[in-house]
Amino acid sequence: MIFNSILIANRGEIACRIIKTAKEMGIRSVAVYVNADKDALFVKQADQSVRLKDGGYLDGNQIIDAAIKTGAQAIHPGYGFLSENSSFARKVKKEGLVWIGPSPHVISVMGDKLKAKELAIKANVPTLPMTSNPKEANKIGYPLLIKAAAGGGGKGMRIVNKSSELKDSIISAQREALNGFNDERIFIERYVEKSRHIEIQILGDSNGNVVHLGERECSIQRRHQKIIEESPSPRVSEEIRNKMGDAAVKLAKQIKYESAGTVEFLFDDKTGEFWFLEVNTRLQVEHPVTEEVTGIDLVSEQLKVARGEELKFSQEDIQWSGSSIEARLYAEDPNNDFLPEIGTLIAFEKDNSADARWDTGVSRGTVVGTDFDPMLAKIISYAPNRTDAASKLAKALESAHIGGVKTNRDFLVNCLKSKEFIDGDTTTDFIDRVNPDRKLVIPDGSIHHVVAIAALWIQELNRKKSNVASFMPSGWTNGRLPSQSITFEYENTDIKVEYQLQRDGSFKFSNGKTALIYDKDEDGIDCVFDTERHYAKVTMNTSNILVHMPYGDVMLSIKPKFVIPGQEITAGGLIAPMPGKVIDIKVNKGKKVQAGDTLVILEAMKMEHSIKASEDGTVSELLISVNDQVENGALLMVVK
């Protein structure tokens, strides 16, 4: 069926990504959104938008009504939300709309990981030992991996190292799976500790043609979610690629797969064995790296297949060239177990001179809340070889001006620059084994350079705003008065800056360093400090100033001249490490607890997070109830 307008049943960066290809193909795009997204980038980029009411992005009936109302002839589900919901796909087709994706039957069969494994076994594709009966867990042997039967993305997934952890892990995984996929079924399989996560991109049409577009490695993960992906894998040989590709195509043909999809495998780094994991019946977050090395626009191919067109290339036509790496930029704190962060982006600006592709759905001023996944952007590099691709990606991340919300940007840079990553030693235990720095590494003494730039920026700003004697240099006096000073806070440390304007226009600081301003504009300042010169982008809000240095952004807090005494921190207080909803309280007032005991379970951005006791004690105060929404830093209980 030919269509010239599509509705995108998704949000954020993937909605923007689909809109981009739709525009290139001359197809009108319709977006749907909830109130939290009313100012989002994808809403502005779409040709038309429809606001959703209660139920939001999971309300299939509302979305179908929006498509009919706006005259959209097809629906693209993106990934997440309803993308692997076979009932929704059936409703779309029943209403006479085109479903951009595999058939509802294939979604149903492959969306159930248990059924998918059965089909893989029938196709003679190797699978890991597994069971859906917890009583048989001991037969498989520890460590084990619990997985949701109806979804992915790390939701409903738990590593179990010993039998005493099994019961609570199953309960937690089932609850998270029910919340994420409306299906609490789980299964248990063997956990391979030193492995690689390899997936094969497949593409099929309605005429039975199926090809694979090579592999992606997605082994570097935190909380069972990918953060760095690449194609090709540094470990997969041409022989292994052919074996995996053949297995993926064989399975896809068996189920008559149409559209884009992914067959995922677990690869044993020691033995070279691989096992089938699952089939994702949708576009993957990491699809750009495949596009970069093959030159094939996967969204475009999805739209063509949905129109009934036959693939224009065979397996022999597909060529792979160079190396592509993708990093997922998240609003999260790597130093706080990668827990999600909220806030407003006061800066979000890529460096146009850095050669990288940015797939994003946010911009400066975007409010990052708890309603959705905390991914802000995907940054993708391409180069003739892997080493250059890694360097280009790290440079693109470093040179971007981003702040207002804590992100994993600096952690990603440290991963990409590590010797282990450059050497291709990227098994699933990478983060625990390599332990890259989780925050910005500032060169020795460089913080004084940062605060000097911040101080000079503020004094220039104050002079510009001055209504009295604005023609005079800031700090000018005809007498000997004290130096100008300002105090910043960085990493819980106060740094006082004192400086005086010299007759030659330079500034002399109390530490003996000098600085000279060459130029300034509304976005930044060009100055030299102790012989080091660069143009620093600067962004400021009420109490913070973000300074961009050659190695990344540094956020400083501006300390007030006069501090109002605040409340003291309650001794023994259990503090919420992130904003979220209280979904379970494991203790009562008066309960004795031991260090490591789980006390509270919070849900944030559709994921569960256990808050544990840091030491032995007794719960003397309980300040929360189930279903309470708590802010970051809120006092949950007191353990004495």
Taking Cα atoms as reference points, which of 334, 332, 367 lies closest to residue 348? 367
Strand order of the β-sheet with 573-575 is 573-575, 635-639, 617-622, 592-593
Residue with tokens 């009932």: 87
Strands 323-330 and 225-231 turn out to be antiparallel
Considering Cα of 329, then 330, then 331, then 332, what sign does the dihedral take?
Answer: negative
Residue 204 DSSP one-character state: E
Rounded to 10 degrees, what is the CA torsion of 465, 466, 467, 473? -130
What is the C-alpha separation between 147 and 156, in angstroms, rounded?
A: 6
Q: Are residues 406 and 512 both part of a single domain?
A: no
Contact between 5 and 29 under an 8 Å Cβ cutoff? The reply is yes
Q: Are residues 274 and 391 both part of a single domain?
A: yes
Q: Are residues 282 and 328 both part of a single domain?
A: yes
In a domain, 35, yes or no: yes
What is the C-alpha separation between 128 and 396, in angstroms, rounded?
A: 39
What is the C-alpha separation between 637 and 593, in angstroms, rounded?
A: 12
In a domain, 19, yes or no: yes
In a domain, 371, yes or no: yes
Query: DSSP alpha helices (H): ranges in 182-322?
Result: 238-254, 287-294, 298-306
Q: Are residues 185 and 298 both part of a single domain?
A: no
pLDDT at 444: 86
Q: Is 282 a catalytic residue?
A: yes
Contact between 413 and 421 under an 8 Å Cβ cutoff? The reply is no
What is the C-alpha separation between 424 and 410, in angstroms, rounded?
A: 20
Q: Are residues 498 and 359 both part of a single domain?
A: no
Q: Are residues 371 and 473 both part of a single domain?
A: no
Q: What is the mean pLDDT of each run of 10 residues along the chain (640 residues)?
A: 95 98 98 95 98 93 98 97 96 98 95 85 88 87 87 79 90 86 86 90 97 98 93 96 96 95 94 92 97 98 98 97 98 93 94 94 93 94 98 98 97 98 96 96 92 95 68 52 85 93 93 95 95 96 93 93 52 80 92 90 78 89 91 87
CATH number reported for the structural domain that contains residue 462 in this entry: 3.30.700.30
- Which of 190, 208, 231 terminates a domain? The answer is 190
In a domain, 122, yes or no: no
Q: Are residues 250 and 137 both part of a single domain?
A: no
Strands 74-76 and 98-99 turn out to be parallel
pLDDT at 154: 73
Contact between 507 and 500 under an 8 Å Cβ cutoff? The reply is yes
Backbone angles phi, psi at 369, to 5 degrees: -110, -165
What is the C-alpha separation between 60 and 66, in angstroms, rounded?
A: 10
Predicted TM-score (pTM) of this structure? 0.85
Q: Are residues 382 and 451 both part of a single domain?
A: no
Pull the structure tokens for residue 221: 């993960």
In a domain, 564, yes or no: no
CATH number reported for the structural domain that contains residue 58 in this entry: 3.40.50.20
In a domain, 303, yes or no: yes
Pull the structure tokens for residue 370: 């708890």
Pull the structure tokens for residue 496: 């006082």
What is the C-alpha separation between 360 and 12, in angstroms, rounded?
A: 7
Q: Are residues 298 and 421 both part of a single domain?
A: yes
In the structure, how many helices (H) and strands (E) does the chain have?
Answer: 16, 39
In a domain, 117, yes or no: no
pLDDT at 306: 98
User: For 210-260, how does the pLDDT look when each residue is reduced to its tens digit (9 = 90+)?
Assistant: 999 999 999 999 988 999 999 999 999 999 999 999 999 999 999 999 999
Please report, for residues 164, 327, 517, the alpha-carbon distance to residue 393 in angstroms, rounded to integers and kept in the order given.
Answer: 43, 8, 31
What is the C-alpha separation between 52 and 436, in angstroms, rounded?
A: 42
pLDDT at 606: 62
Q: Are residues 23 and 94 both part of a single domain?
A: yes
Range of the domain at 505: 446-558
- Which of 505, 527, 558 terminates a domain? The answer is 558
- Which residue in 11, 222, 241, 282 is the catalytic one? 282
What is the C-alpha separation between 282 and 99, in angstroms, rounded?
A: 12
pLDDT at 312: 96
In a domain, 395, yes or no: yes
Taking Cα atoms as reference points, which of 378, 390, 383, 455 lies closest to residue 417? 390
- Which of 190, 217, 236 terminates a domain? The answer is 190
Q: How many domains does the chain have?
A: 5
Taking Cα atoms as reference points, which of 11, 82, 80, 4 lies closest to residue 45? 11
CATH number reported for the structural domain that contains residue 587 in this entry: 2.40.50.100
CATH number reported for the structural domain that contains residue 370 in this entry: 3.30.470.20
Taking Cα atoms as reference points, which of 608, 552, 631 lies closest to residue 173? 608
Q: Are residues 239 and 357 both part of a single domain?
A: yes
Q: Are residues 319 and 242 both part of a single domain?
A: yes
pLDDT at 471: 53
User: For 501-547, how does the pLDDT look when each residue is reduced to its tens digit (9 = 90+)?
Assistant: 998 999 999 999 999 999 999 999 999 999 999 999 999 998 899 99
Q: How many residues does the chain have?
A: 640
Pull the structure tokens for residue 32: 């749907």
What is the C-alpha separation between 30 and 457, in angstroms, rounded?
A: 43
